[in-house]
Amino acid sequence: AQKVTQAQTEISVVEKEDVTLDCVYETRDTTYYLFWYKQPPSGELVFLIRRNSFDEQNEISGRYSWNFQKSTSSFNFTITASQVVDSAVYFCALSSPSGSARQLTFGSGTQLTVLP
């Protein structure tokens, strides 16, 4: 069975603070993919990153960075120097062969509010 847990339901930070969104996953597969999506108030899901299970290198893209650790089955997302425009719901998701047709298993999401 696959499962993605985002324990933080809501987070509020003040602009320019750093914030880390946690994601813990469960899968029996050795090959799998992890994703982060952003859902702003408009509703559209915006793809942020995909990471495969064989690549544990951390990735940085501008103010965004991701820390993938297989030992703890975690794929955490950090926003540095947060901005008001970062306010959104962020979803972590998992795709693996156990899920038919490479379906995505979503976490419950973390509502991030960045205050001015």
Least separation, in Å, of the C-beta of 23 and another protein? 13
Only one of the segments 15-23, 44-52, 59-67, 80-88 lies at the binding site for another protein (rule: CB under 8 A); that segment is: 44-52
Least separation, in Å, of the C-beta of 93 and another protein? 9
Cα separation, 67 vs 34, whole angstroms: 11
Only one of the segments 13-21, 55-63, 64-72, 102-110 lies at the binding site for another protein (rule: CB under 8 A); that segment is: 102-110
Q: Which of 30, 58, 69, 108 binds another protein (CB under 8 A)?
A: 108
Only one of the segments 16-24, 61-69, 71-79, 108-116 lies at the binding site for another protein (rule: CB under 8 A); that segment is: 108-116
What is the 8-class DSSP label of residue 30? Answer: S
Cα separation, 104 vs 110, whole angstroms: 17
What is the 8-class DSSP label of residue 100? Answer: G
In this complex, which beta carbon is closest to another protein, that of residue 71 or of residue 100? 100
Burial 88-110 (b: 16+ CB within 10 A, else e): bbbbbbbbbeebeeeebbebebb
